[in-house]
Structure 1
Amino acid sequence: MNLLICARCGAYTDTPVVEPDGPVLRCVECGHRQPFRRLPLFSVAGPSGTGKSTVGRLLTEWLSDRYVVVEQDVLWVGGLRDPSHHHRLFRSTWLRMAAMLHQSGRPVVLCGTVVPPEFEPLPERALFSEIRYLSLMCDPDVLAERLRARPAWREWDEPRIAEMLEYAEWIRENAATMSPPMTLLDTTHAAVEETAQAVHAWITGESRPPR
């Protein structure tokens, strides 16, 4: 269900108009009012190497009956890479995809590198009741070693690693003042399952995942 196409007249918009009652999408062309599910989006973010993809595999196992867990990088393709616009097309595509998935009644958990300033200003943000942000983090030395240990095809040379360390420090310094703030979770010394349990608790409010 493409929420950007009017179900009555077929008009398309890049800027959805959401009325709070219901909530409801209103077509700016014909005025048709379409109820839709406006659910929260859970962003499990953080610098490369902090454990997002590994944790995501466990979350998929634990949450599959109530949430849709997806990996952001699956859409990191040439047609969506637009660095001159801060990858806006890539971000917008993910928000549109998540909003469509929400119409099944299950919230999306999106695992990938993103921060609030990259999602919150976009027109598609109106399709969600809220976006919650959790950033996995780890000590710089550990992060650098994790990136150096990655397969060669991922192309983590020293300049790129230095750039990622700088990005990680920026998140650490600014997470609390972003709008909304990002929650930080340190993975430096935690086992993968321990980290996944903490993320599960952050998403669901439950102390432990199902067994």
Structure 2
Amino acid sequence: MLDPRICPACGDRADAPIVDVATRVCDRCGHRWPFRRLPLFALTGPSGGGKSTVGPALATRVGDRAVVLEQDVLWTAGLRDDVDGHPRFRATWLRMAAMIAQNGRPVVLCGTVVPPEFEALPERVLFSGIHYLALVAEPEVLARRLRARPAWREWDEQRITETLEFNDWLRRHAGTFEPPVQLFDTTSTAIDDAVRHAASWVTRWLQAGCLQ
């Protein structure tokens, strides 16, 4: 059974999965089975920061060591309807990333998220750690990028203002989270430099031995 919430012995679906180092444990029947508890890399930041540009290029840089995915592909149906940090949406991604990790490679998840939205979830235990890198930019640059997007993406002025407020809040509070969020400013940075920085961020953690 690949779904990390479901016991392959008794079929119990755990509301709060239990992981003992490299072993999943069923709280109902006590069954234990091998589990790869790998890190998760969250490439985050406000819309317009550069995630959608950096992500595809990052996949070519680290694809032999990690799986790079776009968070918004699951931003659909009921998963986008919950509030207060969208816990169903976040939990679904954590389960998905944990299943992919059982194949031996960690996930780099590209999409806006801050630590409290992942760290408080029961599925957080499925990872050895979650590492956060936020791509940010100066407000006038962000606004210009968002206004240049096609009409179908529906970036009106109210939505742009909300994004600029989030960008400012994230830049001021990144270091106060647990774990902290690293920032990389893309205001005047070439795409290749941003991709190189993101690839180095992933590589440093992998070389530091955060795989279990």
**TM-score, normalization: structure 2?**
0.94
Q: Aligned equivalents of 1:69 and 1:179: distance in 2?
A: 23
Structure 2 CA distance, aligned partners of 1:96 and 1:202? 23
Identify the residue that residue 139 of structure 1 maps to in structure 2.
138
Q: Is the 8 A contact 1:82 1:88 kept in 2?
A: no
Q: For 2:74 and 2:192, locate their aligned partners in 1 and report how far apart those are by CA, in whole Å.
A: 26
Q: In the aligned structure 2, how far is the partner of 1:126 from the partner of 1:84?
A: 22
Q: Deviations over 1:84-127 (max 9, x none)?
A: 34211000000000000000000100000000010000000000
- 1:117-196 mapped onto 2 (5 Å cutoff): 117-196=116-195
1:205 match: secondary structure? helix
2:23 aligned partner: 24
1:15 touches 1:124 (CA, 8 Å); kept in 2? yes
Match of 1:15 in 2: 16
TM-score w.r.t. the length of structure 1 is 0.94
What secondary structure, in the 3-state scheme, does the structure 2 residue paired with 1:201 have? helix
Q: CA deviation at 1:205?
A: 2.5
CA RMSD in angstroms, aligned pairs only: 1.1
- State the one-letter code of the partner of 2:58: L
Offset, 1:34: 1.2
| Ranges of 4+ aligned residues in structure 1 off by more than 3 Å | none
The letter for the 2-side match of 1:5 is: I
Counterparts of 1:140 and 1:84 in 2: how far apart (Å)?
Answer: 26
Deviations 1:183-206 (CA, angstroms, capped at 9, x unpaired): 000000011111000110111029
SS at match of 1:10: coil
* Partner-residue secondary structure (3-state), 1:84: coil
Unaligned runs of 5+ in 1: 207-211
**Cα displacement string for residues 27-56 of structure 1 (whole angstroms, at most 9, x for unaligned residues):** 111100112000000110000001101100
Deviation at 1:25, TM superposition (A): 1.1
Q: CA deviation at 1:181?
A: 0.3
In the comparison of the two structures, how many residue pairs are matched? 204
Instruction: Give the corresponding residue for 2:4.
Output: 3
Superposition pairs for residues 29-108 of structure 1, below 5 Å? 29-108=28-107
Question: Aligned partners of 1:114 and 1:84: how far apart in 2?
Answer: 14
Shift of 1:65: 1.4
